[in-house]
Amino acid sequence: MWDLAACRGTLDERRIASSGSQLIRNWRLALIRISLNLSKRVIMISSRKMLLLLVVCTIVVACIRASAELEHRERLPLDHSWEFRQLSDDGMAAFEDTKPPATAAGWLPATVPGDVHLDLLHAGKISDPFYRDNESKLQWIEKAGWEYRTSIGIIPAVLAREHVELVFKGLDTACAVFLNGKRVAQPNNMFREWRIDVKSLLHAGINDLQIVFPSPMKAAEAVAAKDPWHDRTHTGPKGYIRKAVYEFGWDWGPRFATSGVYRPAYLEAWDDARIQDVFVEQESIHAASANLNVHINILASKETKILARLDYGVGKTALHLERPITLGPGDNLISFPIDIAHPQLWYPSGYGDQPIYHFHVSVSENGHDLDSRDAKTGLRSAVLRQELDKWGRSFEFVINGIPIFAKGADVIPFDSFPNRVNSEKYRHILQSAKDANMNMVRLWGGGYYETQEFYDLCDELGLMVWHDLMFGNNWQPGTYEFKQNIQKEAEYQMMRLRNHPSIVLWSGNNETELLRDWDGKGQLPPAVHERIWQDYLTEFSGVLATAAARIDPQTPYWPSSPSADYEELSDTYQSGDNHDWSVWHQDADFSEYEKRPWRFVSEYGFQSFPEMKTIESFTTPEDRTSIFTPVMLAHQKNGDGNKIIETYMSRYFGKPKDFASFLYASQVLQAEGIKVGAESFRRRRPETMGSLFWQLNDCWPVASWSSIDYYGRWKALQYYARRFYAPVLVSPHFGNGTLSVYIVSDKTVPEDGQLRLRIIEVSGKIIMETTKNVTIEPLASKIYEQLTVTDLFSSGPLDLTNLFGTVDVSVGGEEISSNLVFFVPSKQIHLNHAQISAVITPAGRGFDVVLRSPILARAVCLSFGSIDAQFSDNYVNLLPNEPQTIHVTSNATLEELKAQMKILSLVDAFQAQSNDH
Ligand code: BMA
């Protein structure tokens, strides 16, 4: 391994003069490193000519070793000491030039991987992009051109290697890469890897690497201008470069179209052969045996006799196979068939464990290691079952033979600036999904392909991934170049990701197929319309579908979300997945969800505000006087969104008494609304086999459909989700004078339990109580109790506004699900202000808070002011005189928590005199 410092190496005298002390420090550091690493091969240096002399000494030693033997593939990360500067214009001239711009002043330190917005922020040139309305003040950044540079110190031993390549794992986006004054690449797709052969351009000593990023929109417009169809179709130019569309703003996200080296970059050197890929194909997976084929793709530069070795196993078990092979020049595919008896299978969360099998492949020539690579996977069969049935065509994921009801949410990018997403954030959000009993996330198509870490976590947590390809809500160009570009992108990404057991579907795009009848900015001529549609079909059911079938044949492909795969639909024939926006975008009542005959709901949602601490992070006190202040509106990206929340609020609850109450009540409203949808979709199984609500997370602090805010704080919806996605759900439904109590089970075996139904007055008086033994049918939804109003209230006429029903299911004496049902619309329920007592005591590693109310208290929220805490549950319903314990963990002390403890229930958010909510 090369491990010498990747120090910025420049001999620029002006820079030396201006930052003398920094250089002396670097120089000394480099000196120490060199003396420690005389046998190393490559150096990136940051110093003056004197240092070069030392480098030469190093070179001599290195050369002696290099000439004696073949070497392992080696990588030098290019992740240190970058600089960036703003160009004097939009950067288009420098981008199109074959020579780099002349070195000029204005350089600032940069981070790679990173982006220009974060670099400007760290350099103190801009203030927090998320604060107040700063977004609008920072739009100049995307209009400018930017240049990044670093230097690479190279010694002859590197040049003695057969191949030396510059590798970029992600460049955002259009840019020109210059090495030693020569343009070596013009990447135009942030979702592809760029590998550039630079051996002939490198020389011993200091090599200059420069990257020019023009204004992204200008670059896109230049490509669009070359497409004769562009003018006629009126498609947006931003689709012409492959850049995450959310960067241009979305209905939950700000516009920060950034630029930069956003994924790792490195130099790679190798001799004779290099492993390009290891694919563990799962040919057939059963409980008794797993038949695998481990395909190793090796690129060789000439005929080479090698020994290929494969070590594999799960946990500590290690088995190995090896085979001598003669590689031919070019791509070579070697396959090791493997049969594993009684394999440990990977299951989605809730159905079993997630064991991971590890594979280590190494390749040697004459006893010298040339290359090695690790791969891992979980063994499972994944089928998207689409069969004709009485409702149309099914749409269900069958994993290891089990039809799984998909429970989850849609995932958007975790930050407007991807490099800010750290391991802690990935784990927190994905663990939160699992903790809320989700088993699937849909990675939405307007963002970017995620990092390895994201998918590793999904594998580990048993979260199935519905993986959109990164296309969203825009017509894509139909040019030949574009089609080739996206083909290479899909091949690269699917090859990169196909071993992940969590990925159970590749889906072409987000909502582009829905645009089928779109007519541009006016009436498009039929021929133009037809051409657009043909291009769409070629791309999403041709190019990308074929890439999926070739690269990842074991994972199903779906053309778009939503889609019926071009089947005709009717009221009685449904097929494919749906985005149900009747609620929110079309103003329907939440009960509308109950009428929907969908086979799989991949989006439905309702917005809320984040909690006060999150709001405080981007506002001043005057911004927090109403949800309609300019700053609050700047953090609402869906047009009239705040108005929509207000409208539904008054429909269901009333008028919150102040700003803080509005925030809280908006979360309860969202949670109650999505609960109606989620429960009704689950009750409909097997007709409906998936419920993914829009959306799990946020990319900045904002009013949005998310259930977890930008800072990872759970909104009410996330707590509700844990209940409505519970493996066994008791779900009462009152309609047409009849109360039906369903139990929905995701368990694979029947369970014996007890179902209890009580009708209670909000003040606490029990009107009716029944308990019965039930055998809960596995993988099913069934009504276990059905009563009419006459049965329920046989004792005489009662005031339904004063009553509620409560149901619970226990197994082995332990309550596993409980729920409430009301007999009149929310607003008519006679809730009174409850005197809720809260007693907090230390318990285990945290604290227990026992909540108790003499009367019904809905959506009781426990909080601690400015202190962040984790809650075992929250936004709970307190039944009259039935205490509930919430376990709290926090860094704060008991006294601090006590001092700030606050309890709020739904009725408290509204004016005391009004009890019509
Ligand atoms: C959808 C999504 C997103 C959008 C959301 C809310 O249909 O696919 O594009 O953010 O609705 O409008």
In sequence order, the 6+-apart residues with CB closer than 8 A to the CB of 517 are: none
Q: Of 603, 702, 705, which is best to mutate to test ligand 1, by the most ligand atoms within 8 angstroms of its C-beta?
A: 603
Q: What's the pLDDT band for 793 if we cut at 50, 70, 90?
A: confident
Using the CB atoms, write b or e for 751-774: b if 16+ within 10 Å.
bebebbbbbbbbeeeeebeeeeeb
Q: What's the pLDDT band for 473 if we cut at 50, 70, 90?
A: confident
User: How many Å lie between the centroid of ligand 1 and the Cα of residue 51?
Assistant: 56
Q: Whose CA is nearest to atom 4 of ligand 1?
A: 251
Residue ranges in 653-809 assigned as alpha helix (H) = 659-683, 716-724, 789-792
AA letter at 487: Q
Q: Which residues contact ligand 1 via a Cβ below 6 A?
A: 250-252, 473, 510-511, 579, 603, 694
Total residues found in the chain within this entry:
917
Chain segment 592-618, per-residue pLDDT in tens: 999 999 999 999 999 999 999 999 999
User: How many Å lie between the centroid of ligand 1 and the Cα of residue 106?
Assistant: 41
Whether the predicted pLDDT of 25 surpasses 60:
no
The pLDDT value given to residue 317: 63
Report the distance separating Cα 69 and Cα 857, nearest Å.
77
User: How many Å lie between the centroid of ligand 1 and the Cα of residue 95?
Assistant: 34
Residue 514, helix vs strand vs coil: helix
Using the CB atoms, write b or e for 406-433: b if 16+ within 10 Å.
bbbbbbbbbbbbbbebeeebbeebbebb
The percent of residues in the chain predicted with pLDDT above 90, rounded, is: 86
Whether the predicted pLDDT of 855 surpasses 90:
yes
Pair of tokens at residue 758: 């009580």
Distances (CA, A) of 827 to 554, 880, 906, 916, 917: 51, 20, 11, 6, 4
Whether the predicted pLDDT of 18 surpasses 50:
no
Q: Whose CA is nearest to atom 12 of ligand 1?
A: 251
Whether the predicted pLDDT of 267 surpasses 90:
yes
The pLDDT value given to residue 48: 32
Burial class (CB in 10 A: 0-12, 13-18, 19+), 913: exposed
Q: What's the pLDDT band for 55 if we cut at 50, 70, 90?
A: very low
Q: What's the pLDDT band for 231 if we cut at 50, 70, 90?
A: confident
The atom of ligand 1 lying closest to the CA of 638 is 12
The atom of ligand 1 lying closest to the CA of 510 is 8
Q: Of 443, 511, 512, 607, which is best to mutate to test ligand 1, by the most ligand atoms within 8 angstroms of its C-beta?
A: 511
Strand partners, 357: 314, 377
Q: Of 247, 248, 251, which is best to mutate to test ligand 1, by the most ligand atoms within 8 angstroms of its C-beta?
A: 251
The atom of ligand 1 lying closest to the CA of 251 is 10
User: How many Å lie between the centroid of ligand 1 and the Cα of residue 472?
Assistant: 9
Whether the predicted pLDDT of 265 surpasses 70:
yes
The pLDDT value given to residue 26: 31
Whether the predicted pLDDT of 863 surpasses 90:
yes
Q: What's the pLDDT band for 789 if we cut at 50, 70, 90?
A: confident
The atom of ligand 1 lying closest to the CA of 694 is 5
Q: Whose CA is nearest to atom 1 of ligand 1?
A: 603
User: How many Å lie between the centroid of ligand 1 and the Cα of residue 699?
Assistant: 14
User: How many Å lie between the centroid of ligand 1 and the Cα of residue 442?
Assistant: 12
Whether the predicted pLDDT of 507 surpasses 90:
yes
Chain segment 373-407, per-residue pLDDT in tens: 999 999 999 999 999 999 999 999 999 999 999 99
Residue 450 is given by DSSP the state P
Report the distance separating Cα 761 and Cα 192, nearest Å.
62
Q: Whose CA is nearest to atom 8 of ligand 1?
A: 510
Mean pLDDT of the chain: 91
The better pLDDT of the pair 54, 881 is held by 881
Question: Do 606 and 673 meet the contact criterion of CB atoms below 8 Å apart?
Answer: yes
Helix axes 20-36, 49-68, angle to 10 degrees: 20
Q: What's the pLDDT band for 62 if we cut at 50, 70, 90?
A: very low
Chain segment 175-201, per-residue pLDDT in tens: 999 999 999 999 999 999 999 999 999
Q: Whose CA is nearest to atom 6 of ligand 1?
A: 251
The pLDDT value given to residue 716: 98
Whether the predicted pLDDT of 915 surpasses 80:
no
User: How many Å lie between the centroid of ligand 1 and the Cα of residue 467?
Assistant: 16
Question: Do 387 and 393 meet the contact criterion of CB atoms below 8 Å apart?
Answer: yes
User: How many Å lie between the centroid of ligand 1 and the Cα of residue 542?
Assistant: 25
Chain segment 665-706, per-residue pLDDT in tens: 999 999 999 999 999 999 999 999 999 999 999 999 999 999
User: How many Å lie between the centroid of ligand 1 and the Cα of residue 774?
Assistant: 41
What average pLDDT score do residues 829-856 get? 96
User: How many Å lie between the centroid of ligand 1 and the Cα of residue 782?
Assistant: 32
The better pLDDT of the pair 232, 679 is held by 679
Whether the predicted pLDDT of 24 surpasses 60:
no
Q: What's the pLDDT band for 143 if we cut at 50, 70, 90?
A: very high
Residue 621, helix vs strand vs coil: helix
Chain segment 334-372, per-residue pLDDT in tens: 999 999 999 999 999 999 999 999 999 999 999 999 999
User: How many Å lie between the centroid of ligand 1 and the Cα of residue 487?
Assistant: 25
What average pLDDT score do residues 263-273 get? 97
Task: Give the position of tokens 């139904």.
Answer: 757
Q: What's the pLDDT band for 316 if we cut at 50, 70, 90?
A: low
The pLDDT value given to residue 912: 58
| Counts for the chain of helices (H) and strands (E), in that order | 22, 46
The pLDDT value given to residue 37: 33
User: How many Å lie between the centroid of ligand 1 and the Cα of residue 606?
Assistant: 11
Whether the predicted pLDDT of 845 surpasses 70:
yes
Report the distance separating Cα 241 and Cα 45, nearest Å.
35
Chain segment 72-114, per-residue pLDDT in tens: 899 999 999 999 999 999 999 999 999 999 978 899 999 999 9
Instruction: Tell me the backbone φ, ψ of residue 399, rounded to 5 degrees.
Output: -110, 125
Instruction: Give the pTM.
Output: 0.93
The atom of ligand 1 lying closest to the CA of 473 is 9
The atom of ligand 1 lying closest to the CA of 705 is 6
Report the distance separating Cα 215 and Cα 227, nearest Å.
19
